Amino acid sequence: MALKILYIGNKLNVHGGNISYIETLGPLLESSGHQVSYASDKKNKGQRFLDMLVTLSRKRDQTDLVLIDTYSTLNYWYAIAVARLCVRFDIPYIPILHGGNLPARAKKSRKTFSFLINNAHSAICPSPYLKKNLSDLGYKNLRVIKNTIELTDYDFKLRDAVKPKLLWVRSFSRIYNPLMAVEVFKNIQSRFSDAQLCMIGPDKDGSLQQTKDLAKNYGLEIEFTGRLSKEEWRARSEEFDIFINTTHFDNVPISVLEVMALGLPVVSTDVGGLTYMLEDGKTALLVNDGDVKAMTEKIIDLIEQPELSKALSINARKEVEKYSWDAVKLEWEKLLSEIENRT
């Protein structure tokens, strides 16, 4: 039985935003035979919020299930409003929890977060990290289903002898700490004069200009591309050998899964869900949050130890196969069959 699913989230790629999970999971559910409609692709936040509520109200009699991408910052409140409407209309809903800072949101907004989770059919945690942290707060209506990527879209390139060509891909936001990438690159370039750093992603909170200013102050030549499509940045990735991830908070970042699939060795801060997602020395190299010196040393290790970069490249690709749609689809179908039985 095909379900009629309304997927609520930020569908903003059409306006130049990064591709979000609604734009990844939704089409995959459609490919499995379900009817999926979406809200919202409105660029203005207020209009987008209103469109979500209006779409749910209009489609309430033709909807079997509502999926809600749920974040810890301002977008958290649209998830709460949509959940309240679902309860009012007696429509089952499933929040898909994103962001390593959601446990802090759960503590800060205990009443609304409890409403969101306790009234849901289930709440999806993309990592054991998030499930553990929320379980420790007393929440039980949780299950782990990994984030997914379509592996056929990512051509593996073995990095068995890397050069100091660094790639960073993320929105420019304080929580992703792009300034750390500049500090690390400063150290690397002092050791390797031919070092390169390319930073790909749109600005989110003014951090892009701050990052450019820091690079200018240090006299560093860093390439800032702005937002690129997935196809464009995957093509650019072939020019680089090492991926650096500098975030303060995270859950299961799709960008890290993508570069693992492409074969780039990953050097990352050891925060949030990354602790569960990556194995230090096997699928990535991990450092403490904000530790510029340690990240610099790990990058030098990769450059000077070809056998290490080769092992990481191979192991990471094997690990990311666990996140393929073929692997994750079974968990989603099991969950959706529960909704089918309910209806």
Q: Do domains 4-148+324-342 and 151-322 have the same CATH topology?
A: yes
How is domain 4-148+324-342 classified at the architecture level of CATH? 3-Layer(aba) Sandwich (3.40)
Q: What is the pLDDT of residues 14-61, one digit of tens each?
A: 656 566 888 889 999 999 999 999 999 898 989 999 999 999 999 999
Would you give the distance in Å from CA 201 to the centre of its chain? 13
147 contacts 126 by C-beta, under 8 angstroms: yes
In terms of Cβ atoms closer than 10 Å to its own Cβ (0-12, 13-18, 19+), residue 334 is: exposed
Residue range 162-185: mean pLDDT, rounded: 98
Which residue ranges make up each domain of the chain? 4-148+324-342, 151-322
Q: What is the pLDDT of residues 123-173, one digit of tens each?
A: 999 999 999 999 999 999 999 999 998 899 999 999 999 999 999 999 999
Strand partners, 8: 39, 68
Confidence of residue 112 (pLDDT cuts 50, 70, 90): very high
| CATH code, 151-322 | 3.40.50.2000
Given the DSSP bridges, would you call strands 142-144 and 123-125 parallel, antiparallel or unpaired? Answer: parallel
What is the sign of the dihedral through the CA atoms of 229, 323, 256 and 22?
positive
Which pLDDT belongs to residue 74?
A: 84
Q: Report the candidate in 262, 311, 60 with the shortest Cα–Cα distance to residue 151.
A: 262
Q: What is the mean pLDDT of the chain?
A: 94
Q: What is the pLDDT of residues 91-108, one digit of tens each?
A: 999 999 987 789 999 999
